[in-house]
Amino acid sequence: MKKIFLLNFIFISLISCDKILKDKYDSQDSEITTRVYAVGTDKDENGCVSSAGYTWSILKNDCIRVFEIGYRLNPTQINADEAVMSAFVIFDEDKEKTELFLPNSDKSIILNLDGKGIYKNGKMVFDSNEFVLKIDNKNTYEAAKEQLQNINNTQEEIE
């Protein structure tokens, strides 16, 4: 009697668990497609990975991160509703040339030393003494100004 009860219990348990008897892939199951994107595959013609912040430098003849080794120049006219897009400048070892990286520009611009700290290329003039970039004789970019403030976030300037 115990054997019959045990066999019936096992049989009913197997029937009630119909997942064991079903096919693993039913026709109603949807197929899942996964796409694998490799990070760092967006290399430019010089092999620089732009998603990692690298840009080709003509002066350094290498991929560089301009925001790490360059000097930041902020626009002189900043609109409150727009993001600040900075330009960057780097110098060669002899300080005979400077390379200018403008925002929204694909290529850098080489400026040659023209006088005491003045670099020129066409309508662009960079004054390395004041760190001001002039385009068409207008101050377009300048070095970021340091503004010290109280630590309690008031707008009062510290002298």
Are 74 and 85 contacting, i.e. CB atoms less than 8 angstroms apart? Answer: no
Rounded CA-CA distance 143/157 in Å is: 19
Q: What is the DSSP code (8-state) at residue 158? A: P
Report whether pLDDT(28) > 60. no
Confidence check: pLDDT of 29 > 70? no
Mean pLDDT (the chain) is 81
Residues 6+ apart with CB under 8 A from 52: 40, 65
**pLDDT surpassing 80 at residue 69:** yes
Please report which confidence band the pLDDT of residue 148 belongs to, taking 50, 70 and 90 as the band edges: low
**What residue spans define the domains of the chain?**
69-143
Tokens describing residue 60: 């350094």
Neighbours of 74 (CB within 10 A): 14
Q: What is the DSSP annotation of 108-140? A: -EEEEE-SSSEEEETTEEEETTTTEEEETTEEE
Instruction: For Cα atoms 109, 115, 117, give the angle at the middle one, nearest 5 degrees.
Output: 70
The tokens describing 44, both together, are 């430019």
| Of 83 and 149, more confident | 83
Q: Which pLDDT band, with edges at 50, 70 and 90, does 159 fall under? A: low
Which pLDDT does position 58 carry in this prediction?
A: 93
How far apart CA 141 and CA 87 sit, in angstroms, is 7
Give the model's pLDDT for residue 3: 79
Q: Which residues pair with 73 in a beta bridge?
A: 87, 143
